[in-house]
Each structure stands twice: as C-alpha cells, then as structure tokens.
Chains A and B, each alone.
Chain A
C-alpha cells in the first residue's frame, strides 16, 4: 500500500510539474472557471432582488447549498480528473489506457494519478468564498457536532460525484458514445442539488431520494447546519447520511468499474 500511495503522489507531482510549464494558460484557466462561477452565482443573487426567499430559503441559505456543492465538486473534479469520462474515453480510444495496464501498480490509482486539473482551484476557492459568505449572513450557529460533521459532508459529496465520474468512465469500456449522457447526469446533478429540494416537484424529488440519493448529500445536511425544520418528516438520522449516500454510490461505482475493466480485457476495443 505504501508503494501504491507513493506511486500515486509521484504521479500527481508529475501532473503538477507538467501543468506549471504552461503558466499563462494555467492563469487564464483559473480566471475563466472563476468567472463562470461568479456569473452563475450572480444570476442566482439577482433572482433574490425580486423574491425575498425561494421555497422558504433566503439568499444566504441557498448560498450555503451552492457554495458547499461548488467547493466539493471542485475538489472532486481536481482529484478525479483522470476519471472524467471525456478525458478517460479519449485515453481508451487512443490506446494510452493500455500503457497503464503494463505497469505494476493497480490501475485505479494510476488513473487517479493520470490527471490533476489544478485550474479547478478557481472553482474550489470561489465555492469556499461563497460558503464563508453564506455561513456569515445566514446566522449559522456552530456547535462541536456541526464542526465535526462538515468534513464528512464534503467527503460524501466528493465520493458521490467521483463515483458518477467512475461510472461514466466505465461505460466507455463499451462505447465512448455514452459520455455525453453521463455528463448530463453528473453536471446536471450538481446543478440541481445547489437549490433547496423543496422547490422541486414531488416526482423529481423522489428520484433524488430513492433512485439517486442526492437529497442526503447536501439538502439534509444543510437543514441540520441551518437549524431548519424538515418539510418531509424523515427520521432525524436523515441529516447525517451524506457520507453513507456518497459511500454507497462510490462502492457501486467501484464494482461497476471492475466489471467494465473485465469486459475491456476480454474484448479489446
């Protein structure tokens, strides 16, 4: 395991050194992703100049959801960049994935080490800024339990979206044409859970509860952090399921990845 982690960190180091060679492009990328987030959040803030609240949530409270997703998704996108289905599908198509199979380190760690999108640091930083703003203006009252739980919520979301990336990549073992459909699910999902679940129609919310358990990743933890009542009368434990939901999706993704890799090795491409 020590050798595996050592290899992983060295692979990441190689990615960082590679990307820092293109300084101008790196800075531009950071600024453009940051700009994207600012305009998106700006548009959201504008809505609140007309309406005081959305579904009973103030701007600062929605910013809590938004900032937390942005922060977690940014972290995920940085560290799971190797599993970005678009990037991964390209490696399958070009055959460079085969090179990883020729090295004596588990493939999963090599894929994780095959890309690190440093420029996503803009995302992460802005998510953090919005989150801090939300914490300040929403009047959130910190308790020891909330401080301890927060990192678990972030890890839960990283695992959840990382899992979706892995599932998308695993599909490319069969066909690279599936990439777009999976991207819609991943990026669309992160967009949808940036807003309170109470604003969605019942059927959509049910999908996000029972099919893809995204409601537990962000919405229920936010209810807990902001001391808001639960409109859906779930048991109290529902507030603390973020790492469980993330963990389950990630475990399923791992199993599907193994299955896909087996298929790839028996069929080639």
Chain B
C-alpha cells in the first residue's frame, strides 16, 4: 500500500533578523540585515499509511507546528519533498485543502458572532459538500459530539470544549481523508478531553480517516496513537510504537509485592530491590531481559506472595529522557 503521507528530507529554515536595541535602534533595524538562520525542521523523513493515528511530539519550539504548516500547505519547505494524498500541498494548495481537515488548537475557523449551524452551512457551500452528505455527516457528528446543546448558539458564547467540538465537526464535514490536529486538547478539562479523544477514535474507526496530531498531553498519545514521532530542535528523534519507545528507552519497570510474612532476605536474580517497607517490597527490573511472569515465578518459588502489582515506567520520564539527550545517541 502506498503511504498517504510521504515526507523525505523535509527542511525548513528561517532567517531571523537581529533586532538592535537602544537609541536609533529603529534606524539600525531598518538599514542593517544582520540575521541568523534557524533550522526549524531539519532533514525529517517519515511516511504515514492510510488509517493511522500518529502522535507528533516535541517540546515547545521543536518544529511541530512548522511541520504541520508545511503538511497543510501553509508554508513552503526550504528543502526536501512532501506528498500528501497525491498532492504537493503548497503547490496545489487550493485543490489540496479540500481533501484535508485541520484544527489549529486555540484558533477557530467558525464565525464568531454566528450560530454554529450557520457557520457549518457556510462551510458546506465553500467545500461544495452535497446536501445528502452534509445531512448524514451532521447527524452523525451531532450524536457523537453532542452538538445539540449549543448548535444554535453563537460561537462567542461557547466554552472552549464546546468550541473545539464545533471546530472538529466543521473540519470533518467535507469527509476529508486526513485530519491534522494541532494541540486538540489544550486547555480542556478532563471530561472535555476524553470526549474529544473518543470522537477522534470514532472518526478513525468508522471512516478510516488518517490522523496526525501534535500534543503535550501524553494521555492523548496513550489513548489514541498507534505510533509516535518525536521531534526536537528540528530533528526527528524517534519513529515507532509507544511500546517500542518504552522498551528501548524507558526506565525500568517496577514490581510491587506484598509478602504474606516478613522475610529477612528478599533478593531475586535479575531484579533489584529498590524499596523495603515491612512486608511490601518494590523490585525494579529490565523488561527486555526478564518478563513479568518469569520474575513473579522466581519470587513465588522462594517466598509466599499475597498481592502483586506491576508499574510501567512513566512515559513522561521516558520522553523527558529523550529530550534531554540522555538515551538517544543514534537516532532510530
């Protein structure tokens, strides 16, 4: 199968003008052209297959938004090639954007003073959505996103969560093959976040819409993304499944065991005791060398176990380690 997104050696450099300060700074800014070059996206390559949900992660200023802007045709790349759904986004922008949907976090595409439904009708015309498709899509989205409670209210009166739901509906009315989301859950409460995630999942399951989303919220990634890309300082650091990331770069797993009685020595081969609190003992182990079940059988062969719980390493920690360059010397 041919990938729906193909990105090869994509780069984007910006010239940033140095701004002088102090007296006559305005004149100096005008007449001098001191600038430095910033590599916002540096030789990035990846491809995405139809129906994938890919999380695009990185700290602020890592190059996420610049990548999304190139993928949606807003920015022209400085180097490399880019093909999305058979289009070169920036070259064929007008025809290309009919085949994608995009929601950019805090900004809305809706008309501030108009009721949501009027905005949707306007977009129906702009995207040339046939009446039957429009009705069918709207009915489905009304149900899944529960738009009914506010569909006749002006956009300015909506809460952030409601606005995001309306914007998602607007982005998908023309049944796009791809959906780009830049920080879709930013600033939302837990319930609103969960609703947005369920909707994204629904759209992906039912319509096989390919989704690429940037986020800072790792629960978004855990619940939605089969695959993640990690970018920092313009360079792609990781491309793969979340599990792979955990296994390769994650810290150690922990096994917390409550013993039936107190033992003087609870050492086990292949695991390290990191905490001892009465009958509760915490072991740390490397899951790529020792499976959970093997460890449990080793322990239970020696001691009497009452209760057990397994703790995955925190994904936040893993990713922070990657950002800090502690774990990844050779990419991929």
Give CA–CA (A104, B14) in the complex, Å: 27
Find chain A residues with CB under 8 A from B66 CB: 268
Give CA–CA (A17, B109) in the complex, Å: 17
Give CA–CA (A247, B178) in the complex, Å: 42
Find chain B residues with CB under 8 A from A265 CB: 74-76, 90
Cβ of B34 under 8 Å from chain A:
no
Cβ of A37 under 8 Å from chain B:
no
Find chain B residues with CB under 8 A from A18 CB: 111-114
Q: Given contacts A95-B104, A268-B14, are A101 and B73 in contact (CB under 8 A)? A: yes
Cβ of A39 under 8 Å from chain B:
no
Measured CB to CB, the nearest residue on chain B to A262 is B76
Within the complex, the shortest CB–CB distance from B110 to chain A, in Å, comes to: 9
Name the contact of A102 in the complex, choosing from B95, B109, B118, B125 (C-beta under 8 A). Answer: B109
Within the complex, the shortest CB–CB distance from B33 to chain A, in Å, comes to: 13
Mask: chain B, 117-128; 1 = CB below 8 Å from A; 0 = not: 011001101111
Cβ of A49 under 8 Å from chain B:
no
Find chain B residues with CB under 8 A from A101 CB: 73-74, 93, 97
Find chain B residues with CB under 8 A from A98 CB: 69, 74, 104, 107
Give CA–CA (A73, B74) in the complex, Å: 33
B107 touches A102 (CB 8 A): no
State which residues 1-35 of A face B: CB under 8 Å.
Answer: 3, 6-7, 10-11, 14, 17-19, 21
Give CA–CA (A17, B154) in the complex, Å: 11
Cβ of B293 under 8 Å from chain A:
no
Q: Given contacts A95-B107, A99-B107, A268-B14, are A6 and B125 in contact (CB under 8 A)? A: yes
Chain A's interface size range is 20 to 34
A10 touches B76 (CB 8 A): no
Cβ of A143 under 8 Å from chain B:
no
Give CA–CA (A94, B74) in the complex, Å: 15
Within the complex, the shortest CB–CB distance from A245 to chain B, in Å, comes to: 31
Cβ of A201 under 8 Å from chain B:
no
Give CA–CA (A90, B118) in the complex, Å: 25
Measured CB to CB, the nearest residue on chain B to A94 is B107
19 contacts between A and B (CB under 8 A): A3-B128, A7-B126, A14-B114, A18-B112, A18-B114, A19-B113, A95-B104, A96-B107, A98-B74, A99-B104, A101-B93, A102-B102, A102-B109, A104-B127, A105-B126, A265-B74, A268-B66, A268-B69, A268-B75
Within the complex, the shortest CB–CB distance from B107 to chain A, in Å, comes to: 6
Cβ of A103 under 8 Å from chain B:
yes
Find chain A residues with CB under 8 A from B78 CB: 266
State which residues 62-77 of B face A: CB under 8 Å.
Answer: 66, 69, 72-76
Give CA–CA (A104, B127) in the complex, Å: 7
Measured CB to CB, the nearest residue on chain A to B17 is A175
B122 touches A10 (CB 8 A): yes
Find chain B residues with CB under 8 A from A266 CB: 75-76, 78
Give CA–CA (A98, B108) in the complex, Å: 11
Find chain B residues with CB under 8 A from A268 CB: 14, 66, 69, 74-75
Give CA–CA (A21, B69) in the complex, Å: 34
Given contacts A103-B126, A268-B75, 15 further A-B contacts (CB under 8 A): A10-B125, A14-B111, A17-B114, A18-B111, A19-B113, A96-B107, A98-B69, A99-B104, A101-B74, A101-B97, A103-B109, A104-B95, A105-B126, A266-B75, A267-B15
Cβ of B94 under 8 Å from chain A:
yes
Find chain A residues with CB under 8 A from B114 CB: 14, 17-18
Give CA–CA (A102, B73) in the complex, Å: 8
Measured CB to CB, the nearest residue on chain A to B98 is A104
- Which 7 A-B pairs have CB atoms at the shortest separation, nearest pair first? A18-B113, A104-B98, A266-B76, A99-B109, A265-B76, A104-B97, A7-B126
Within the complex, the shortest CB–CB distance from B63 to chain A, in Å, comes to: 12
Find chain A residues with CB under 8 A from B76 CB: 265-266
Cβ of A55 under 8 Å from chain B:
no
